[in-house]
């Protein structure tokens, strides 16, 4: 098995870690199983360049260590190819890794791939840009942009910055006017926040929202018309408790293979998998079924996250 590992040097889990030891651990566990592996630890500014220029035929698996933004960069390049994406969760949220039931500790994450299977999962796309988890408009991009500005700052500076962010976010009452077209009659809303998820979230209780399937072939749209962020986060808390308030008059839920979202301006800030970018309007969302091959631990396979077996790697890193 040919494996190329790319690890973001500034990922959250790498802060304070011995980088040489991380590279040695990853390499040792994979080579012990008889596989070829090349481990690269790169600066954040090199991650996107590495992803954009990689040759999918150069490896069977691209093993990526980083947060959701790093994972998204490689998903963008690997979607629609035969190469598989492996994930070493090293960020803050690690949304896709959690949905794939990959442990958050390095050794355990590598060993969880020991009897992994390659499965194809859906990806979402907005204006040609891939997202593997979700895409937000409204309040979340503002929060994410402020949070990104604090990366790499001293701890006390970050703490004060986060407190300032919370004050700003919870004081927000500005709503955006938009129209949503899901293939039927367009509908007009004034929204505090809007999220498009690659596959719907589960309705059971969970400390973090999760997706019980990654191959439904459907996007899910969640829209908050609440007049305050506090009311919106109350709904989020209920969702985490498994008590979805679909009867909330200020909450809208839709499912479709595609959405068109438009506003009376030329562009808007969008937060895709935690990364903020400005995109031209209208926003054209679509699902790309089974477009990305990933290493999926057996626990996730047994849970039924994906349909169909794309290939089995029975000897990949025996614990």
Identify whether residues 198 and 88 lie together within a single domain: no
Q: Please state whether the peptide bond connecting residue 142 to the residue before it is cis, i.e. omega within 30 degrees of 0.
A: no
Mean pLDDT value of segment 157-181: 62
Identify whether residues 136 and 83 lie together within a single domain: no
- Find the range with the poorest average confidence among 194-198, 275-279, 304-308: 304-308
Identify whether residues 135 and 40 lie together within a single domain: no
pLDDT digits (tens, 9 = 90+) for 42-101: 998 899 899 999 999 999 999 999 999 999 999 999 999 999 999 999 998 899 999 999
| Number of domains the chain is built from | 2
CA neighbor of 294 nearest in space, from 93, 47, 88, 130: 88
Mean pLDDT value of segment 9-15: 88
Q: What pLDDT was estimated at residue 61?
A: 96
Instruction: Give the confidence band of 214 by pLDDT, cuts at 50, 70, 90.
Output: very high
Identify whether residues 230 and 280 lie together within a single domain: yes
Identify whether residues 276 and 141 lie together within a single domain: yes
Identify whether residues 116 and 146 lie together within a single domain: no
- Total-model pTM: 0.84
Identify whether residues 244 and 217 lie together within a single domain: yes
Instruction: Give the confidence band of 192 by pLDDT, cuts at 50, 70, 90.
Output: confident
Domain harbouring 274, CATH code: 2.60.200.40
Residue 319 belongs to a domain: no
- Find the range with the poorest average confidence among 46-55, 61-70, 228-237, 291-300: 228-237
Identify whether residues 40 and 139 lie together within a single domain: no
Region class of 16: left (phi > 0), else alpha (psi between -120 and 50), else beta: left
Identify whether residues 167 and 97 lie together within a single domain: no
Residue 29 belongs to a domain: yes
* C-beta separation of 97 from 72 below 8 A: no
Mean pLDDT value of segment 132-152: 67
Residue 121 domain boundaries: 2-125+289-303
Retrieve residue 57's tokens: 């035929």
Domain harbouring 69, CATH code: 3.40.50.10330
Identify whether residues 264 and 192 lie together within a single domain: yes
Identify whether residues 147 and 205 lie together within a single domain: yes
């Amino acid at each position: 098995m040919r494996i190329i590992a790319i690890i973001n040097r500034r990922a959250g889990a790498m802060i304070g870690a011995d980088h040489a030891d991380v590279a040695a651990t990853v390499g040792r566990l994979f080579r012990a199983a008889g596989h070829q592996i090349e481990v690269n630890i790169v600066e954040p500014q090199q991650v996107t360049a590495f992803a954009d220029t990689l040759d999918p035929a150069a490896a069977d698996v691209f093993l990526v260590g980083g947060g959701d933004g790093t994972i998204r960069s490689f998903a963008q390049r690997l979607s629609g190819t035969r190469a598989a994406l492996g994930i070493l969760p090293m960020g803050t949220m690690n949304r896709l890794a959690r949905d794939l039931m990959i442990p958050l500790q390095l050794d355990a994450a590598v060993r969880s791939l020991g009897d992994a299977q390659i499965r194809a999962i859906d990806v979402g796309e907005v204006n040609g840009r891939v997202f593997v988890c979700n895409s937000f408009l409204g309040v979340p991009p503002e929060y994410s942009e402020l949070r990104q500005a604090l990366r790499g700052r001293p701890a006390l500076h970050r703490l004060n910055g986060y407190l300032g962010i919370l004050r700003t976010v919870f004081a927000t009452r500005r709503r955006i006017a938009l129209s949503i077209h899901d293939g039927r009659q367009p509908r007009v809303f004034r929204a505090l926040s809007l999220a498009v998820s690659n596959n719907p979230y589960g309705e059971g209780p969970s400390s973090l929202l999760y997706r019980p399937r990654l191959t439904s072939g459907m996007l899910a749209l969640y829209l908050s018309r609440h007049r305050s962020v506090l009311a919106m986060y109350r709904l989020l808390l209920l969702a985490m408790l498994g008590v979805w308030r679909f009867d909330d008059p200020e909450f809208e839920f839709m499912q479709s293979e595609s959405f068109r979202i438009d506003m009376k301006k030329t562009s808007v800030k969008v937060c895709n998998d935690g990364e903020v970018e400005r995109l031209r309007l209208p926003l054209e969302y679509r699902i790309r079924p089974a477009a990305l091959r990933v290493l999926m631990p057996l626990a996730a396979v047994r849970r039924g996250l994906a349909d169909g077996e794309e290939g089995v790697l029975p000897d990949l890193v025996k614990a």
